[in-house]
Chain A
């Protein structure tokens, strides 16, 4: 089956969740550098968390049979720190992740996810711990994420989530793929160019 990648407005995501515990999980761990030797992102889905998975042989959340098909990832603090490699969110996306919820995210990682249409939502440490525990108690439950309501729920419990208002608007209106928006202002781009001293012989 061909995997569908995010497209257009991202208003709701439904699915099962999985948990990766730990603060400061860097992009080298999400996708080790040796897998960056490629000219296309296609194969990255299988290589996500490669070294962590190898270390615990089959017991990693991304290997457990029960988590196959899950599309919501619950993480802790400063997730995605380190390198700017978009290969990290690409690898997560190609494994199947469509939404990430955590205590906080590194900035470049957050932007890279946004550029792929993957919301990175935040909640307090306490709420995240509660959410992670609930997910781990029953991996089979369905979760409903609602962007407008800034929430996720399993029918019984509802968790409030946060998102920067700019990212919210881009996801809600489907304008997270920025290229066409940026190209809309050709004349203004040229004006800015013409007013930059260093691009105009310091006139």
Chain B
């Protein structure tokens, strides 16, 4: 059993009591809600005649269903409009702060909470969304929950949870030019598998992790769940504190100094015990792209699509299914695969630095003929800052569309969808069958810079070639 890790320390601070069934009643310090997984939770609360226990510890926004072309109310999709009005009503009734449409702080829930300074080290963060693991980048224990649990958190500010084991993933070296946090996490998921993390919290550590910006760290933790780990985290350090300083909800004045002291005390001890540890070399990782239908089916840009027969036995069937669904041939290089749609955005890669890196590739070039390429900033704040430094213009000049913030084509609960057999180069997090809104649409996951490169050439391209030009 782990001891002395950040996970252990934060867990201990939040334990309310042991429940008869053997799980722990765990206090939730920050509860984030959105329009998709909360309406039924509020209904259940009303049915049981319960109040929201700590309304000021829940924060709401709207992201999944918002259109990115025209955000005028009412939305043209009546179902989407109903979901939004339901959330507005629930927030109003229960006194919950709502960062809604028209607010300068609206955006994807996992983008806005960090940029507002709501997410801080040492917190427990829960949200009815599996990518809540994102917030672990700050040294918080952050995890996705279902709607029944959203109800429980609203009613009691706590959850019945079982303590996870802790695996430390130590990454040596530093990422090469053209290799980003996204490549690293796709590489890790490939290595450990999509269920390798079940039962674990992942602690990402080591020189390559420490060198990442907060936004890169968020990309890493965001996709911990794609490796099966319900939460991933990174110990807070100067990079974390620097990011948080001056944010709207960050501690100020004397409290700031005390906060730093407490945050530093939470960092995993040098003699901490982990349930499992692995080590890898970050310097040897290359731009990575998924070719299949799970985020674990990734290969470096230099590799060929694997031959299912040559894979370990337990991976053969899903690899065969993947080849068939993706209509990609085994033993062919992934580089050069033609694509139809390029999507830059999502809670994985919709932050300012993601757009900046992609814009460097796009600058002075044109989107290849016939390719639909679009950028969806993760939040209003990202959109505003991007415009201030002229990134929107770079994309627009190159032939990209520049949209309003939202989850967009990551999961296509809004008008942004693949059509038919279209294949996308996507900076999002899931390449599941049908994920991007067409029942037989296809998704290749990669870094935003790689998506930009794919847009320029109309096919999967090694971004490093465009960095050299």
Contact = CB atoms under 8 A, between A and B. Distances in A.
A178 B86 CA distance: 25
A156 interface: no
Nearest to B120: A198
Contacts of B71: none
Interface residues of B, number: 82
Interface residues of A, number: 65
A179 to B, nearest CB: 5
A60 interface: no
A189 B27 contact: yes
Nearest to A36: B36
Given A178-B160, A195-B13, A24 B294 contact: yes
A99 B159 CA distance: 23
Nearest to A50: B439
A37 B83 contact: yes
Nearest to B121: A198
B363 interface: no
Contacts of A179: 48, 50, 151-152, 155-156
Given A107-B198, A193-B54, A33 B228 contact: no
Interface string A37-78: 111110000000001001100000000000000000000011
Contacts of A191: 16
A22 B294 CA distance: 13
B232 interface: no
Nearest to A55: B439
B37 A86 contact: yes
B39 interface: yes
Nearest to A113: B146
A193 B156 CA distance: 11
A3 interface: no
A17 interface: no
Contact of B198 (A26, A38, A106): A106
Nearest to B407: A33
Interface in B167-222: 194-195, 198-199
A164 B162 contact: yes
Contacts of B57: 199
Contacts of A24: 194-195, 294, 318
A147 interface: no
Interface string A81-125: 111111101100000000000001011100110011000000000
Contacts of B132: 84
**Which of B27, B80, B262, B437 lies at the interface centre, i.e. has the most chain A CB atoms within 10 A of its CB?**
B27
B92 to A, nearest CB: 16
A78 B27 contact: no
B17 interface: yes
- What are the 8 A-B residue pairs with the smallest beta carbon separation, nearest first? A86-B146, A112-B146, A115-B148, A166-B22, A84-B144, A202-B258, A39-B39, A182-B156
Interface of A: 22-24, 26, 28-29, 32-34, 36-41, 51, 54-55, 77-78, 81-87, 89-90, 104, 106-108, 111-112, 115-116, 164-167, 169-170, 173, 175, 177-179, 181-183, 185, 188-189, 191-193, 195-199, 201-203
15 contacts: A28-B435, A39-B82, A40-B43, A84-B130, A86-B37, A166-B21, A179-B152, A181-B160, A182-B25, A182-B160, A183-B156, A189-B27, A193-B157, A198-B251, A198-B259
